[in-house]
Amino acid sequence: MKRKENALKKTAFLFPGQGSQSVGMGLDFYQEYDVVRELFDMAEEISKINISKLSFKGPIEDLTQTVNLQPAVTAVNLACLAAIEKEGVRPDICAGHSLGEYSALNASGVASREDTFKLVFKRGELMHREAMRNKGAMHAIVGLSIDDVSEIVDEVKKEGVVAIANHNALQQIVITGSPDPVEKASSLAAARGAKAITLKVSGAWHSELIKGAYDEFKNFIESIPFNTPQFPLVFNVTADFEKEPDEIKSIMARQLCSPVKWYDAMCKLMEEHVEIFAEIGPGKVLAGLLKKILPKDYPCRIFNVNSLRSLEQFLKEIA
């Protein structure tokens, strides 16, 4: 496939994570492409979970359990990617939000599809185990800067575990930790004029409450072969690029309990003059964040590729 006027425009593939799921996701790709059916079969063989049934029919309560969700969202991300790759379109840069970073590893050639599923299934199992051991909560704070939220978190820390989980947009920050300190931090944020939204999650992701999974997950990552990226990746933990496979393993292990610097990562893509942003996978969460992050006068186009129709539109627009 030839790319004409957009051939010189840098394209970033962005992969969503938890929170983007919906019943029915990926079904049209599954019906259309052999490679997608093979992907789902592989994910089911590795996880021993009926991922196609959960993704296409639900129920949403079962789909949202992190041990099911992580391989399911990854399967849909990689299904959308496989359909794009079949058309000969490749990214210049990749990034993924939290769980989505594993799809980005695959898209950039760091990890094979099979190993990507092994990683996310293991990650989901360990995170679920730690969430059962340590009750956690996550709230989105909207309307305060990262410095303001950091100040509040530091103030509340003495009362228990609370931390910043995601810096999603300039003034959209997710906090994580034990329920009471998270609640207190939210109240303090609300007193400063912010809006606090309780997120439907089963654990305190990106906090020390799941630190019990770190060593085991780090050892598991060590057993998986990583390659040098074919396309650059911007990582959550550093909001920067990394080429060395061993250092990438270290970053991905740290990602479990470290904040997701999504806002900084998207600013990095602007520095790289990315003009075409394609969210590859279910939902429109990352496209929505981009619209909050990118300046109004920044020259770019934002696409979602999560259905055959949106794929067709994307291919037509960038041709």
Chosen domain end from 178, 198, 218: 198
Which two structure tokens, joined as six digits, stand for 28? 């049209």
**Contact between 36 and 30 (Cβ < 8 Å):** yes
Rounded-to-integer distance, Cα 284 and Cα 286, Å? 6
User: What pLDDT is stored for residue 202 in this prediction?
Assistant: 85
98 catalytic residue (yes or no): yes
Rounded-to-integer distance, Cα 170 and Cα 183, Å? 22
- Verify that 121 and 264 share a domain, yes or no: yes
- Verify that 121 and 37 share a domain, yes or no: yes
**Contact between 228 and 245 (Cβ < 8 Å):** yes
Angle at CA 247, nearest 5°, toward 242 and 248? Answer: 65
User: What pLDDT is stored for residue 9 in this prediction?
Assistant: 87
User: What pLDDT is stored for residue 3 in this prediction?
Assistant: 41
User: What pLDDT is stored for residue 4 in this prediction?
Assistant: 42
121 inside domain: yes
Which two structure tokens, joined as six digits, stand for 319? 């041709």
**Which H or E run contains 138?**
strand 137-142
Q: What's the pLDDT tens digit per position in 50-90?
A: 999 999 999 999 999 999 999 999 999 999 999 999 999 99
Q: What is the CATH number of the domain that holds 192?
A: 3.30.70.250
Rounded-to-integer distance, Cα 101 and Cα 86, Å? 21
Which two structure tokens, joined as six digits, stand for 17? 């994570």
- Verify that 115 and 18 share a domain, yes or no: yes
**Cα–chain center distance at 55:** 17
- Verify that 191 and 263 share a domain, yes or no: no
> pTM for the full model?
0.96
Which residue in 202, 206, 207, 307 is the catalytic one?
A: 206
- Verify that 241 and 268 share a domain, yes or no: yes
Q: What's the pLDDT tens digit per position in 186-205?
A: 999 999 999 999 998 889 99
Q: What single string gives the DSSP state of each residue in 180-218? A: HHHHHHHHHHHHTT-EEEE---SS-TTSGGGGGGHHHHH
Which two structure tokens, joined as six digits, stand for 104? 């980005």
User: What pLDDT is stored for residue 5 in this prediction?
Assistant: 44
**Contact between 70 and 119 (Cβ < 8 Å):** no
The structural domain count of the chain equals 2
- Verify that 139 and 126 share a domain, yes or no: no
13 inside domain: yes
* Ranges of the chain whose pLDDT falls below 70: 1-8
Tell me the H-state helices in the chain: 27-32, 34-47, 51-57, 60-63, 66-86, 100-107, 113-133, 146-156, 179-191, 214-222, 245-254, 262-271, 285-293, 308-318
139 catalytic residue (yes or no): no
For 162, the domain range is 135-198
Which residue in 20, 98, 103, 186 is the catalytic one?
A: 98
- Verify that 119 and 169 share a domain, yes or no: no
Rounded-to-integer distance, Cα 99 and Cα 279, Å? 14
Rounded-to-integer distance, Cα 124 and Cα 145, Å? 31
